[in-house]
Amino acid sequence: MKNYANLNDKQKKDLIQKHYVQEMLSFAVIAAKYNTYANKVRRDAVKYNIDIRDKSQAQKTALDKGRHTHPTKGKKRSEKEKQNIGLGVMKAWENIDAEELKRRQDKARSNWNKLSPQEQKNILQKANSAVRLSSSIGSKMELYLLEQLIADGYRVDFHKEQTLVNTKLQIDLFLPTMGIAIEVDGPSHFEPVWGEDALEKNQKYDNKKNGIILGKGLALIRIKQSKDFSKTRANVIYQELKHKIETIKTSKDKYIEIGE
């Protein structure tokens, strides 16, 4: 086997194309094969305009090829450990600077544009189906809050139709013994997800619903869910919700908003 240092540019480029691109070997493995060091091979790959796999791609390839073992596969974590990991991830996302956020958004947009029209159509159809399903059985956030409220001993009516001021309304979560209505608002309640007309319609309905609920003498807590569901984020919201439920009894303010 030839020493890497003795190869000319064409030979080096062909070697990297074969081992790195086609065989998906890492720079470290290639370097070991040809008596050199990984950074040298990597610098040459950049020099020859060969696309470099990002860290996540490199890790996935190493796992697929069996060069590394998965650090968590087969291991069970406690709920406390899961919550701590989730909080760490959540805080990391919240602290991303504008430049890095834009880079990730651009990458996501690029990945979307690379999909075929049929693939994009399939994804949109699944998204629409998920929205319709959540409207009938409740969103993940609503179901999570329901589960936690019941576990903490609250009596909860879930998506039950209420007759208020001769108007039938379906309230997301209702605590009948405490007179507290809880509404969970996804992005379509404050962003033009389905267009400006749909947003205006949603907001008019929300305002009407607020008036009817408060006019009946009930308390109302609205939860603004602006981000995708995660148990960690949901738990943070639930802790704030529980605090508001306990303090609203003596509070003069019967309308409270909780936002992400």
* Structure confidence by residue, pLDDT tens digits, 230-256: 888 889 999 999 999 988 878 888 999
pLDDT of residue 12: 93
Extract the tokens encoding 177: 């013994």
Cβ atoms of 237 and 258 within 8 Å: the answer is yes
If you average pLDDT over residues 206-226, what whole number do you get? 91
- CB burial readout 207-222, b (16+ within 10 A) else e: eebeebbeebebbbbb
pLDDT of residue 56: 66
If you average pLDDT over residues 85-90, what whole number do you get? 60
Euclidean distance between CA atoms 192 and 201, whole angstroms:
11
Cβ atoms of 66 and 59 within 8 Å: the answer is no
pLDDT of residue 47: 93
Comparing 51-65, 70-84, 119-133, which segment has the lowest mean pLDDT?
70-84
pLDDT of residue 84: 65
Nearest to 223 by CA among 211, 201, 206, 208: 206
pLDDT of residue 130: 59
pLDDT of residue 211: 92
The sign of the torsion formed by the CA atoms of 29, 31, 34, 35 equals negative
If you average pLDDT over residues 107-119, what whole number do you get? 85
Q: Is residue 5 over pLDDT 60?
A: yes
Distance between first and last Cα of the chain: 59
Cβ atoms of 231 and 90 within 8 Å: the answer is no
Nearest to 141 by CA among 210, 241, 220: 241
**At 140, is the pLDDT very low, low, confident or very high (cuts 50, 70, 90)?**
confident
The pTM for the full model equals: 0.53
Half-sphere exposure of 48 (CA within 13 A, CB side): 20
Using DSSP's 3-state secondary structure scheme, residue 101 falls into helix
Model confidence over 147-205: pLDDT tens digits?
999 999 999 998 888 777 777 888 999 999 999 999 999 888 888 877 888 889 889 99
**At 139, is the pLDDT very low, low, confident or very high (cuts 50, 70, 90)?**
confident
Euclidean distance between CA atoms 177 and 210, whole angstroms:
19
Length reported for the chain:
260
From the DSSP assignment, how many helices (H) and strands (E) are in the chain?
Answer: 10, 5
- How do the residues of the chain divide into helix, strand and coil, expressed in percent and rounded to 5? 60, 15, 30
Euclidean distance between CA atoms 187 and 141, whole angstroms:
13
180-185: strand order across its sheet = 157-164, 167-175, 180-185, 219-224, 255-259
Give the ranges where the chain is alpha helix by DSSP (H). Answer: 9-16, 27-33, 38-47, 55-64, 79-94, 98-114, 117-137, 140-151, 196-215, 231-248
**At 220, is the pLDDT very low, low, confident or very high (cuts 50, 70, 90)?**
very high
Euclidean distance between CA atoms 225 and 163, whole angstroms:
26
